[in-house]
Structure 1
Amino acid sequence: TVEQCGKPLAVSKQEFRLLHLFMRRAGQVMSQADILDDLYELDAERELNTVEVLVGRLRRKIGKERIVTLRGMGYRFEK
């Protein structure tokens, strides 16, 4: 279960896994490839677009200011 300001947030399994990864590595820059490696098994069909879609959905739920895009580098979760 995910809560923000004491209110439950409905998140998918993949959104939860991404949020958990961001929270574990808060303040660190993670490339899309790093995120894919953490979220999916190596033999799974993966596309970089998947990360963009998940990040977009998560931003809408937790606030866009929490996940910073660093052009050409990846993403960073702000504490």
Structure 2
Amino acid sequence: MFYVYIIQSINFHKQFYTGFSEDLDERLKEHNSGKSEYTSKFRPWKIIYYCAFDNKKKALDFEKYLKSASGIAFRNKRLI
């Protein structure tokens, strides 16, 4: 499975990160351990939304959409 996820900083509530992974649990551990440069500044993180896909391209396309201006508006209105 391929996952698109949104995480939120526990300490900085207005900080969100959208990503893609094949192993959601391991990826969250990486974010919380500081292995990801951008997210290390705002840890710890919690998953607030994820969606599973059978198709990698569809997952990557959805991740790209969620990072766009209209995708961020959709996220804020419908997903979180």
When normalised by structure 2's length, the TM-score is 0.27
Task: Give 1 or 2: higher strand fraction.
Answer: 2
When normalised by structure 1's length, the TM-score is 0.27
